[in-house]
Amino acid sequence: MTVTAPQGFEAAGVAAGLKSTGKPDVAVVVNRGPLKAGAAVFTSNRAKANPILWSQQAIRDGVVEAVVLNSGGANCFTGAFGFQTTHETAEKAAELLGTSAGDVLVCSTGLIGTGDEVFRAKVLAGTAEAIATLSTEGGDDAAHAIMTTDSVPKTSVYQGEGWTIGGMAKGAGMLAPGLATMLVVLTTDAVLTAAEADGHLRAATRVSFDRLDSDGCMSTNDQVTLMVSGASGVTPEPEAFRFALTEVCTSLAVQLQADAEGASHDIAIQVVHAASEDDAVEVGRSVARNNLFKAAIFGNDPNWGRVLAAIGTTQAAFDPYAVDVSMNGVRVCSNGGPDRPREEVDLTPRSTSVLIDLKTGDASATIYTNDLTHDYVHENSAYAS
């Protein structure tokens, strides 16, 4: 049931005609619980879509009663008309739900720079239809409705002691921080204040979605929303809830990685013994964004020299001539020089691990990425056609 697994939530997903395939493309998630608390984090891209601009204003009071999401159009760089479309979407939802438009967040995903009267009419009609079909069984339909180039829906549920967290996500390309290119809705029936929800959400996204760097491209539409119904009546221990929320976010992030456009390898780059966590993240991200490294993994080539070349461009504290590098459990580089023969490394499995030991401190971090494939180039060369 995904986002409707926690008590107090209803959802729906309908086909409004935004996608040429006729598949569901408008989703609504509604909080029916005694609490209407919420929190959200957004893309750090300076170029933000109209739904982001709207939702950033709406979330300021920490109240979220509903989220309306559409695929089939990003509503980004569509000018005043596009912002008015977002505004009217929130107003339509609020009218039908008997709430305030300011308590409705809006999310969109799809092609940038498209949007007209037909798009607006379909979004508004889809919003009305979705609200008319809301149910506690509608989570799966909602998860399908937010998909674009995704091949499968992404969902996750965590059962706590008397409380639950549910989540759904979409994303298969432009996966880079600032949250990865994705829409995520998280729900919980735990009792939390808006401030507590915000703190937990930022802590969880920092080590999950923000560590996903599939192709180095940052979206204009990223949004992760946490809705709190309080319907369980249970106030969890803060550490327990934060752990659970991080587990759900990490699960969704890994599902996004596994469905990345055209990828043939899912790569976990673990950096250990760094001087600081920031250093570990910088080093891991430098490898994740290195096209030569990513192309080598696509060719099943354990070219550890490309790892050292990539991390040498960072400002992190380490001696490049003391670094160890292992690939899929085989240490191919020790103290900046060759170690085990490359032939011992098997890179044919989709799951690929790279371990970088900086030998400088006690901090660590893991960055998730994918290889660079012919299919990725082909799919993104024809995305708008």
Here the tokens at position 342 are 């490359």
Catalytic residue selected from 2, 148, 181, 369:
181
Within 10 Å of residue 351's Cβ, how many Cβ atoms? 10
181 part of the active site: yes
Q: Tokens 């409380």 appear where?
A: 163
Find, among 358, 265, 270, 347, the residue nearest to 308 by Cα. Answer: 358
Helix (H, G, I), strand (E, B) or coil at 273: strand
DSSP 267: E
Annotate 282-343 with DSSP letters as a single string: HHHHHHHT-HHHHHHHHTT---HHHHHHHHTTS--S--TTS-EEEETTEEEEETTEE-S-GG
Give the SS3 label for residue 168: strand
Q: Which two tokens stand for residue 49?
A: 């879509």
Report yes or no: 264 and 358 within 8 Å, Cβ to Cβ.
no
Number of DSSP helices (H) and strands (E) in the chain, helices first: 10, 15
C-alpha to C-alpha distance for 125 and 169, rounded to whole angstroms: 23
Residues belonging to the active site: 181
